[in-house]
Amino acid sequence: MNRAKRTQLRRRRDRGSQDWGVINQILDAGFIAHVGFCVNRQPFVIPTVYGRNKRTLYLHGSVASRMLRELDTEIEACVSVTLVDGLVLSRSAFDHSMNYRSVVAFGKARAITDPEQKVDSLRILSNHLIAGRWADVRAPNDEELNATSVLEFLVEEASAKIRSGPPQDDKSDFEWAVWAGVLPLEMRSLPPIPDGNLVKGVAIPDYVVNYDARLTRGPANL
Amino acid sequence: MNRAKRTQLRRRRDRGSQDWGVINQILDAGFIAHVGFCVNRQPFVIPTVYGRNKRTLYLHGSVASRMLRELDTEIEACVSVTLVDGLVLSRSAFDHSMNYRSVVAFGKARAITDPEQKVDSLRILSNHLIAGRWADVRAPNDEELNATSVLEFLVEEASAKIRSGPPQDDKSDFEWAVWAGVLPLEMRSLPPIPDGNLVKGVAIPDYVVNYDARLTRGPANL
């Protein structure tokens, strides 16, 4: 297939962007990617966490993971990240919409075999999810590293789509006597639940207490 | 490819389920699906809203939508729905995890052409997102219906994966003096933002005010 066509914005060009600044901001705010690949003509879409460094996304999992093993065979992959920002309620059924930010990225993945690079990539992934955590925890030992597969997904092409703002009813529907507007939605943390076997006196780290800031803004630069 | 293999649980069978009750509960709690399909050997993963009736998912969009047109050509599709429930922080980097519920469903989609069935499907989809809204708004006219493509995705096979509960550190890591536990995450609504051109005196509907209940439990039965 013609490569240029993968990210060509066919409709609603006002909602689309191929600006890397916009794309990276969405990738940094999210932490669940839906990774697509084809085995023969069968598509698979698997959710997974990820980290980002420039135009590389890091994916990880068990060495037994089907997804990671399939992706490491030089096949094309598609990674999609979606953030839901709200429901858009208009007067007409037709004009209902959603406020969202999404990225669809195309490229190929390959396994990282160098142990140092593997640890570096896992640290990037960990910091993407919860900056500061990596420095506090026991680092992976050789056995754990060998049981972990880490892939780098090189983004060749990507596009972002964003919808924000109020409903866009036709003026002819303005007289319809129903509430219209936006119901904003966002991911939020609830009070942390401590493990039952904590060492006496350990404090809840700031990166846990203040996690809502990461949910909104993406990871801090470390 | 062997069909049985698509949903075969290869690892962590404790986290997996092929129980339709469990699968439907997750599909009903979510409202964003990531839809995967292959064009030649190129995978695409596109986010979209959906509704459910028994083992059928309804997808909709513009008649110009590439995804909907591709899916209507009898190709295999994969629909993935993921709900994030929390971060699982263990003492070791290796044992970090996420609490989540996800469904991966396989099947084929086809366009609904009968206008009555099309409207029925759009009502199911609308009620899935926000039960009660459909009855309040202006129904789609012929022009709007003709501009809308609605697909029914018949789920042939599906599997759910769920992780919940505390971290599972090795006992040998219990003495590591770092906080461990779960940081629960959930989607929440913020105060609704009324449109600037509302008919004077219209009230905010209960289904908007009480939307957090739908976020937690899925759609009400209508």
Q: How many Å apart are CA A145 and CA A118, to the nearest integer? A: 8
Measure in Å the smallest separation between the Cα of B16 and chain A Cα atoms. Answer: 14
Q: How many Å apart are CA B17 and CA A82, to the nearest integer? A: 25
CA distances from A31 to A6, A57, A80, A130, B205 (A): 23, 11, 11, 10, 33
- Identify the residue among B1, B76, B94 best suited for mutation to test binding to A, counting A beta carbons within 10 A and taking the highest: B94
Does B144 score more than 80 pLDDT?
Answer: yes
DSSP-assigned letter for residue A54: T
pLDDT of residue A1: 46
pLDDT of residue A142: 97
Closest partner residue to A43 among B36, B174, B183, by Cβ? Answer: B36
DSSP string of B23-38? HHHHHHH--EEEEEEE
**Which residues fall within 8 angstroms of residue A220, CB to CB, at 6 or more apart?**
A131, A132, A214
Counting one residue from A and one from B, how many pairs have CB atoms under 8 Å apart?
281
Residue A220 CB coordination number (10 Å): 13
Could you report how far apart the first and last alpha carbons of chain B are, in Å?
39
* Residue bearing tokens 């350990």: A202
pLDDT confidence tier of residue B222, bands split at 50, 70 and 90: very low
Q: Between chains, do A195 and B42 touch, taking CB under 8 Å as contact?
A: no
B161-202 pLDDT tens trace: 999 999 999 999 999 999 999 999 999 999 999 999 999 999
pLDDT of residue B13: 62
Residue pair B124/B53 in contact by the 8 Å Cβ criterion: yes
> What proportion of chain A, given as a percentage, has pLDDT over 90?
89
Q: How many Å apart are CA B127 and CA B137, to the nearest integer? A: 12
Does A101 score more than 90 pLDDT?
Answer: yes
A184 contacts in chain B (CB < 8 Å): 189-193
B6 contacts in chain A (CB < 8 Å): 42, 44
Closest-CA residue of chain B to A3: B42
Q: How many Å apart are CA A94 and CA A150, to the nearest integer? A: 44
Q: Between chains, do A176 and B195 touch, taking CB under 8 Å as contact?
A: no
Q: How many Å apart are CA B157 and CA B107, to the nearest integer? A: 7
pLDDT of residue B4: 54
Residue pair B137/B123 in contact by the 8 Å Cβ criterion: no
Q: Could you tell me the two tokens for B116?
A: 């009555």
| Residue type (1 letter), A88 | V
CA distances from A20 to A8, A10, A13, A159, A216 (A): 15, 19, 16, 8, 19
Closest-CA residue of chain A to B8: A66
**Of A211, A68, A84, A79, nearest in space to A155 by CA:** A79
Where are the extended beta strands (E) located within A50-147? 51-53, 56-62, 76-89, 97-111
Q: Between chains, do B93 and A126 touch, taking CB under 8 Å as contact?
A: yes
> How far is C-alpha A117 from the chain's CA centre?
22
Closest partner residue to A36 among B45, B190, B208, by Cβ? Answer: B45
Q: Which helix (H) or strand (E) holds B129?
A: helix B115-129
pLDDT of residue B27: 97
A64-96 pLDDT tens trace: 999 999 999 989 999 999 999 999 999 999 999
φ, ψ for residue B102, nearest 5 deg: -145, 155
**Of A15, A186, A214, A204, nearest in space to A87 by CA:** A186
Q: How many Å apart are CA A184 and CA A179, to the nearest integer? A: 15
Least confident segment among A185-189, B20-24, B71-75, B217-221: B217-221
Closest-CA residue of chain B to A210: B183
pLDDT of residue B182: 98
**Which residues fall within 8 angstroms of residue B221, CB to CB, at 6 or more apart?**
none
HSE-CB for B154 with a 13 A CA cutoff? 8
Q: How many Å apart are CA B182 and CA B52, to the nearest integer? A: 31
Measure in Å the smallest separation between the Cα of A20 and chain B Cα atoms. Answer: 19
Closest-CA residue of chain B to A94: B140
Where are the extended beta strands (E) located within A90-144? 97-111
> Domains in chain A, ordered, with CATH?
9-85+98-166 (2.30.110.10)
Does B1 score more than 80 pLDDT?
Answer: no
Is residue B158 classed as helix, strand or coil in its secondary structure?
Answer: strand
Between A45 and A8, the higher pLDDT residue? A45
pLDDT confidence tier of residue A13, bands split at 50, 70 and 90: low
DSSP-assigned letter for residue A138: B
B26-63 pLDDT tens trace: 999 999 999 999 999 999 999 999 999 999 999 999 99
Q: How many Å apart are CA A116 and CA A128, to the nearest integer? A: 18
pLDDT of residue B6: 79
Closest-CA residue of chain B to A60: B94
**Which residues fall within 8 angstroms of residue A10, CB to CB, at 6 or more apart?**
B64, B66
Q: How many Å apart are CA B75 and CA B109, to the nearest integer? A: 8
Closest partner residue to B167 among A34, A141, A195, by Cβ? Answer: A195
pLDDT confidence tier of residue A51, bands split at 50, 70 and 90: very high
Residue pair B196/A166 in contact by the 8 Å Cβ criterion: yes
A167-189 pLDDT tens trace: 999 999 999 999 999 999 999 99
